[in-house]
Amino acid sequence: MAVTRRTRLGIAVASTILAAGLTGCGVVSPDMTAVDYEPGDGTMIIVEDVRALNLMIVSEGEGQNGVLIGAVANRGTSDQDVSITLGEQELYAGSVNAKATELLETDDPIIVSNVPAQPGAMVDMSLSVSGAGTQSESVPVVDGTLPAYAEVLEKYGAELAS
């Protein structure tokens, strides 16, 4: 069976239309890597260009001391004064450089005195950014059931006991 010029042209046009239709999906779909999401067990709190990322409290129980873990990221172009509070307890206060991320558990641990909820529950925490406002979200309290959190309790055992 001979392939005519008209058949080849028809196949070429159909292929072009099909390729354009299949590759055009990305034109109208949102870029999901640019969307903020919570990839871990913790909570994200956003105030303008500042994000508190993957926040959680690791504690052995309600009324015990715990460790705040997570990070604070400043996506803006100027340094920001930031604080994180749990009720009346200011857990973190500092200036976060522009385009920088600070891990909360890399230096001295941030000890949460008298954790107000048992592991598995949530507590309300606030992120405040000077001149930009405050946002509150529920943050989980976790215990040492999972190995990664057991390591946190073990690493900071002396600080938690004091």
Looking only at the bridges linking them, the beta strands covering 133-142 and 50-59 are: parallel
Instruction: Name which residue leads in pLDDT, 7 or 160.
Output: 160
Residue-level pLDDT at 25: 61
Fold of 37-161: Immunoglobulin-like (2.60.40)
Q: How many angstroms separate the CA atoms of 152 and 143, rounded? A: 9
Q: Is the pLDDT of residue 34 over 70?
A: no
Answer with the residue of higher pLDDT: 1 or 68: 68
SS3 content of the chain, % helix, strand, coil (to 5): 25, 40, 35
Identify the bridge partners of residue 103 per DSSP, sorted by sequence position: 71
> What is residue 33's three-state secondary structure?
helix
Contact 105, 112 (CB under 8 A): no
Spatial contact of 68 and 139, defined as CB atoms under 8 Å apart: no
> pTM to 2 decimals?
0.77
Please determine, for residue 65, whether its predicted confidence score (pLDDT) is greater than 70: yes
Query: Which amino acid is present at 130?
Result: S
Residues 111-156 have pLDDT tens digits of 999 999 999 999 999 999 999 999 999 999 999 999 999 999 999 9
- Which band of pLDDT confidence, cut at 50, 70 and 90, is reported for residue 23? low
pLDDT band at 14 (very low <50, low <70, confident <90, very high): confident
- pLDDT of residue 51 exceeding 70, the answer is yes
Helix (H, G, I), strand (E, B) or coil at 18: helix
The angle at the Cα of 57, spanning 130 to 112, to the nearest 5 degrees, equals: 70
Tokens 């069976």 belong to residue: 1
For the chain, the first-to-last Cα distance in angstroms comes to: 89
| Unique residue bearing structure tokens 């009346």 | 88
Is residue 90 predicted with pLDDT exceeding 70?
A: yes
pLDDT at 101: 94
Q: What is the full DSSP assignment across 94-125?
A: EEE-TTEEEETTSSS-EEESS-SS-TT-EEEE
